[in-house]
A and B are shown apart, each in its own frame.
Chain A
Amino acid sequence: MNRPTKALITVVLLAILGGALFWALRSTQQAQVASGQNPTLNLPGLRATQTVELSGLIALDVEPFFKDQRVLKFLADHGVKVNITRVGSRDMAQRVAATGGPDFMFPSGIVAANQIADAAKRANMSATQTTVFFTPMVIASWQPIANILQTNAMATSLQPSVYSVDFAKLVATMQAKTRWKDLKAKDAYDVNKSVLVSTTDVRKSNSAAMFMALAAYTMNNNELPTDRATAEALAKKVADLFKRQGYQENYVNGNFDDYVSIGIGKTPLAFIYENQMLTHALTKPLQPDMVLMYPKPTIVNKVVYVALNEKSKRLGELLAASPEMQAIGLDYGFRIADSGAFMQKAAAAKLNVQEKLNDLIDPPSFETMSLMIDVVTREMSQ
């Protein structure tokens, strides 16, 4: 792996985000150090003399990127041919196999990437994680809802159609089983339903796990759970916020699809990746009363490429370090180290976004996260 490039990206990011994203790259570096080797590699930009053929499992989130002709051509020019199969991120870890398994996996987020790395470790394989893109978790909502939350001191306006939402207050409101009709100035949404943020099914999806991490952090007085008992207790509380929603979509776009196509009547608040909204805005008409809410504190999803053998490492480098690939990532709504380029893309889509992400939290450790997901899974099946 070419450390200079990686380090450079880290520095740029640190400068932009005031250190908040340090963790996002730290684990990547650690994984690379752990794998302990750095064989000679073609630098990105140099043509490979030989074509390497790789098979990989990818998540729905990155499928359009991987099917982009520009990406395929770039990779071909650099001697990489990929055969991809789309599967759910959480189903990837079980497909890790020392022989006959895929060469790489590209799940939708860090939770699944860590599960894959863990599965690889148990299979005595070395897994190399490379963060390719990132995107913050946001709440897609509607202007009338934003107005209500603002009146009730849960949200503040940052710019037109963009709000900051006090996540601790919002979670407390959800836990108190407050109904929309109980809120002040509720006329635009005078509804018996409880205030709940809709998520996908945590048993299947990365984004719901990010919700869990963020909710648990705020429920725990802005601390990450570190011990088992605390993590279990928090997971049970979060499970309640999932269960009370009733049926949750169990594929990544399900929740966002409902937001876009059914709208405020079903999903007044939808917990999504920012890139889902930007991708939508880049390709489809935005409804005028759609708004984005950035939770405070917030959490960022890293889109992590996992190489499961030597020959697949290079693809990760090509994706993460070549400006061409990074620029194409913008077309799919992802953020990259070049924040200015991201802002230009959002402006082109006429989508207002928040450039600076303040008050970022880390997700809990892999072990804690796994434990909490297990607890929620158990609670949900009761």
Chain B
Amino acid sequence: MKFATLSVGALTRAASLALMAALVVACGKSEPPPKPTPKSTDAAPKSVATSTLNVLATSDLRDAQPLEAMVQKATGVTIKFTYGGTMESTEQVLTGKTTADAAWFANAKYLLSDPQGQTRVKLQEKIMLSPIVVGVSESEVARLGWTDTTKVTWKTVADAAKSGKLKYALSNPATSNQGYMALVGVVAASTQKSEALTAADIDRKAVADFLRGYKLVGDNSTYLSEKFYEQQGVYVNAFINYESWLLSMNQSGKLKEQLKLFYPREGIATADYPFMLLNDAKRGEYQKVVDYLKGEEAQSWLAKTTLRRPVNPAVASAVSFPGGTLIELPFSPDRGLADGLIDAYLNEFRRPIASTFVLDVSGSMNNHGRRGDLINALHSIAGADASLTGRLARLSSREKVWMLPFSDNPGKLTSFEFPPATSTANAQKKAEVLEQVRGYATGLEMKGGTALYDAILAALNAMSAEQAKNRSYQYSVIAFTDGESNQGRNFAQFKEAYAALPEDARAIPVFTVAFGEANDSLLKEIAKMSGGRSFDARKTPLPAVFKEIRAYQ
């Protein structure tokens, strides 16, 4: 079966990252319409006096957006940032899908260790630094026994997670540099290997121990921070992220208590933010921007405002950062390692997902090809999407899915369950269940009205009942709709009924996906009150929306 063999593809790690990203991107992540620069750059005629530089940046660089204005003022070059996750952005550059002139990633080693990636990147300069560290609520430090900051290693972190004492927030290891490098740190600490890791070094038990403390899951740091501000001291007591991010949170005034930063001994992975030229025709602009970014003004601003470490020695000598001597982990370019870790994370280690898909099958879904879009999207998560980001989005081993179609009323709940990836028999079984999901999707028929709110309530009640039976899953509801609710409860009645739900049910996030004439603001409100997120399939194709949602589950 295709599904089981995908991870072992002959593709290099980076290439598969790339592929995965490529697909996501091909599906049209909300990019601003880029200038159609011809991609065969060598032959490209110099664009006439348009002093612009489109920059594809990793999403953790959102805080550097004021640089757009600063660069413009200082150099006359208009730079425009577009943001994406690390893996996805890597894939865009590797495949040549991006039309950006330059790329600015927290970590480009995935890209630059790939021969294809090396040909895409014409020039590169590191701009700043930030190590990945563990921030722990101050009141928890003593309880963890982490009084000697120099003794904490990734092994210590994994042990504390295993014992249940450490409950942390972290960006998704399958999509983000922080998440992935944390797993690498754990593996390195458990093997005590003194040089670059390979796939053979993956210590599955250590990874499983570490992930027992992974309580707050998400794809971007802004989302994770918002949740962390709410949940600190209740569900979570630690945050693993870039030093700069955690220092900024400490300055935000929004934390219940300060985070104490731990720099895992001999396990530091530092983001070095290379600024890379992709479009040879933009050398002049690129050089001006880089010179400015490495100059005193920008470096001081980056250090003081974004709390990243400057690379300019003159500026660096004037600022100080905690942590002492940081012993860096060698970055392994071994594709087998990355493939193995990400695959194992998704199918074995992560808290398995249990979710109800609330599917709008009202008559209006027959318009404008929406029915086909929905069916295609379900097909893609049920195994038809072979890209690497596709792999992230696919239904994985140990997952439980319920389908709840609705039109005039909530319909019949149908459940699908995927076995753990423990045997070839299970792999076969998984393939069969995927087939069933695809068959189910194909059979969807659309007619009648839109009882959206009743359907969401029914799904929350069903998930809440499942949760009471088995707490080891990560529960969520994903609601798709193309119109205003016009049957059953209205929004006010829904809010009333929602407020009356037991606390456990209200803790289940609802992800909403709007298309057609859906009421945006109400869907956003539902997502907000339940701790979910709202997505707009009118701007982003459905398969890509699915992939985004998966990163939050």
Q: A247-B332, A285-B317 are in contact. Are A257 and B266 (CB under 8 A)?
A: no
**Inter-subunit contact A265/B196 (CB<8 Å):** no
In the assembled complex, 12 residue pairs joining A and B whose CB atoms fall closer than 8 Å, in A order, are A192-B194, A193-B330, A245-B195, A246-B195, A251-B123, A257-B126, A261-B310, A262-B272, A262-B328, A263-B325, A266-B327, A287-B313
Bound form: Cα–Cα A86–B316 in Å: 28
* Identity of the chain B residue whose Cβ is nearest the Cβ of A194 in the assembled complex: B194
A161 within 8 A of partner (CB)? no
Q: A192-B192, A260-B313 are in contact. Are A265 and B118 (CB under 8 A)?
A: no
List which B203-217 residues lie within 8 A (CB) of chain A.
none
Interface residues of A in 323-343 (CB under 8 A from B): none
Does A236 sit at the interface, judged by CB under 8 A? no
Q: Does B264 contact A (CB under 8 A)?
A: no
What is the bound-complex CA distance between A155 and B325, given in angstroms?
23
Query: CB distance A251 to B124 under 8 Å?
Result: yes
Is B113 a contact of A244 with CB atoms below 8 Å?
A: no
Instruction: Out of A194, A196, A261, A285, name the residue touching B129 (CB < 8 Å).
Output: A261
Bound-state Cα–Cα, A280 to B313, Å: 10
Q: Name the contact of B109 in the complex, choosing from A243, A247, A381 (C-beta under 8 A).
A: A247
* CB within 8 Å of B: which A168-185 residues: 177, 179
- Are B332 and A246 touching (Cβ within 8 A)? yes
* A284 at the B interface (CB under 8 A): yes
Assign chain A's interface to a size class: 20 to 34
CB of A345 within 8 Å of the partner chain:
no
What residue of chain B has the Cβ atom nearest to residue A257's Cβ?
A: B126
> Are A204 and B118 within 8 A (Cβ)?
yes
Contact B314 A243 (CB under 8 A): no
B326 at the binding interface (Cβ < 8 Å) = yes
> In this assembly, does A158 line the interface, its C-beta being within 8 Å of a C-beta of chain B?
no
- Give the nearest-CB partner of A177 in chain B: B194
Scan A241-281; emit 1 where CB is below 8 A from any B CB, else 0.
00111110011011001101111111000000000000010
Q: CA–CA, A258 to B328, complex, Å?
A: 11
Residue of A nearest to B263 (CB): A265
Question: Chain A nearest CB: distance from B223 CB in Å?
Answer: 29
In the complex, whether B156 has a CB less than 8 A from a CB of chain A is no
Complex Cα distance, B325 from A179, in Å, reads 18
B405 interface contact, C-beta 8 A = no
Return the CB mask of A352-382 against B: 1 if under 8 Å, else 0: 0000000000000000000000000000010
Instruction: Tell whether, in the assembled complex, residue B194 and residue A179 are in contact, meaning their CB atoms are under 8 Å apart.
Output: yes
Indicate if the CB atoms of A247 and B123 lie closer than 8 Å: no
When the two chains form the complex, which single residue of B310, B312, B325, B333 contacts A247, counting CB atoms closer than 8 Å?
B333
With both chains docked as a complex, state the minimum distance between the C-beta of A106 and any C-beta of chain B, in angstroms: 17
- A67's nearest neighbour on chain B, judged by CB, is B287
Nearest Cβ distance between residue A87 and chain B, in whole angstroms? 8
A265 to B267, CA, bound (A): 10
Residue of A nearest to B287 (CB): A86
Residues on B with C-beta less than 8 A from A192 are 192, 194, 266
Q: Is A191 an interface position by the 8 A CB rule?
A: yes
Chain B's closest residue to A382 (CB) is B334
Query: When chains A and B are docked, how far (Å) is the Cα of A265 from the Cα of B324?
Result: 10
The contact of A246 among B196, B316, B325, by CB within 8 Å, is B196
Residue of A nearest to B316 (CB): A261
Chain A residues, CB < 8 A from B16: none
Q: How far is the CB of A382 from chain B (nearest CB, A)?
A: 10
Expressed in whole angstroms, the Cα–Cα distance for A97 and B485 within the complex equals 68
In the complex, what distance in Å separates the CA atom of A265 from the CA atom of B327? 4
Q: From residue B348, how far is it (CB to closest CB) to chain A in Å?
A: 25
Q: Determine if A265 and B325 form an interchain contact, defined as CB atoms under 8 angstroms apart.
A: yes
Which residues of chain B come closer than 8 Å to A266, judged between CB atoms?
270, 326-328
A252 to chain B, nearest CB (A): 11
Nearest CB in chain A: distance from B97 CB, A: 22
- Once the chains bind, are B330 and A262 in contact (CB under 8 Å)? no
List the B residue with the shortest CB-CB distance to A182. Answer: B194
Bound-complex Cα distance A204 to B114 (A): 12
Q: In the complex, A285→B126 CA distance in Å?
A: 18
**For A247, what are the chain B residues with a Cβ–Cβ distance below 8 Å?**
109, 112-113, 196, 330-333
* A287 CA / B325 CA spacing, docked (Å): 14
Report the minimum CB–CB distance from B12 to chain A (whole Å): 9
Query: How close is A238's CB to chain B, nearest CB, in angstroms?
Result: 15
In the complex, the 5 A-B pairs of residues with the closest C-beta atoms, listed nearest first: A246-B196, A246-B330, A266-B328, A247-B331, A261-B311
Interchain CB contact under 8 A, A193 and B270: no
- Among B115, B126, B194, B333, which residue has its beta carbon within 8 angstroms of that of A193? B194
Judge whether B268 is part of the interface by a CB distance below 8 angstroms: yes
Given A193-B266, A194-B195, also A261-B330 (CB < 8 A): no
Residues of A within 8 A of B314 (CB): 284-285
Question: Which of B115, B126, B195 interacts with A244 by CB under 8 Å?
Answer: B195
Q: How far apart are A210's CB and chain B's nearest CB, in angstroms?
A: 20
Residues on B with C-beta less than 8 A from A254 are 124, 126
Known: A194-B195, A246-B332, A284-B314. 20 other contacts (CB 8 A): A85-B283, A87-B122, A179-B194, A191-B266, A193-B327, A243-B196, A246-B195, A247-B112, A253-B125, A254-B126, A261-B129, A261-B311, A262-B129, A262-B270, A263-B325, A264-B325, A265-B268, A265-B327, A284-B312, A285-B317
Give the residues in chain A near B309, CB-CB below 8 Å.
261
Most chain B beta carbons < 10 A, residue from A243, A253, A262: A262
User: Which residues of A are found within 8 Å of B310, using beta-carbon distances?
Assistant: 261
User: Which residues from chain A contact B327 at a C-beta distance below 8 Å?
Assistant: 191, 193, 265-266
Q: Using Cβ atoms and an 8 Å threshold, which residues of chain B touch A191?
A: 266, 327
User: Which A residues are CB-close (under 8 A) to B317?
Assistant: 285, 287
- Contacts of B125-151 to chain A: CB distance below 8 A: 125-126, 129
Within 8 A of B (CB), among A119-164: none
Residues on A with beta carbons closer than 8 Å to the beta carbon of B118? 204, 250
Q: Most chain-A Cβ atoms within 10 A of its Cβ — which of B123, B310, B332?
A: B123
Residues of B within 8 A of A194 (CB): 194-195
Which residues of A are found within 8 Å of B125, using beta-carbon distances?
Answer: 253
Give the residues in chain A near B326, CB-CB below 8 Å: 262, 265-266
Residue of A nearest to B309 (CB): A261
CA distance A193 to B394 in the complex (A): 38
What is the chain B residue whose CB lies nearest that of A251?
A: B124
| Nearest residue, chain B, Cβ from A243 | B196
- Complex: A262 Cα to B328 Cα, angstroms: 9
Instruction: Check if A257 sits within 8 Å of B328, measured CB to CB.
Output: no
Q: Which of B271-324 contact A (CB under 8 A)?
A: 272, 283, 309-314, 316-317
The 0/1 profile, CB within 8 Å of B marked 1, for residues 185-201 of chain A is 00000011110100000
B331 / chain A contacts, CB cutoff of 8 Å: 246-247
Interface string of A222-251 (1 = CB under 8 A from B): 000000000000000000000111110011
Shortest beta-carbon distance from B128 to chain A in Å: 9
Nearest B residue to A249 via CB reads B112
- 1/0 per position for B477-496, CB-CB distance to A under 8 A? 00000000000000000000
B107 CB, min distance to chain A CBs, angstroms: 10
Query: Which residue of A has the minimal Cβ distance to B195?
Result: A244
User: How many Å from the CB of B293 to the closest CB on chain A?
Assistant: 14
Question: Which residues of chain B have C-beta atoms less than 8 A from A261's C-beta?
Answer: 126, 129, 272, 309-311, 313, 316
Shortest C-beta distance, B55 to chain A (Å), equals: 19
User: Smallest distance from the beta carbon of B102 to chain A beta carbons, Å?
Assistant: 15
Chain A residues with CB below 8 A from B333, complex form: 246-247
Q: Which of A192, A204, A258 has the most CB of B within 10 A?
A: A192
Give the contacting residue for A86; candidates B123, B268, B312, B332; CB below 8 A.
B123
**Closest chain A residue to B312 by CB distance?**
A284
Name the contact of B195 in the complex, choosing from A196, A284, A285, A381 (C-beta under 8 A): A196
What is the CA–CA distance of A142 and B314 in the complex, to the nearest angstrom? 19
- Hey, which chain B residues are within 8 Å of A253, CB to CB? 125
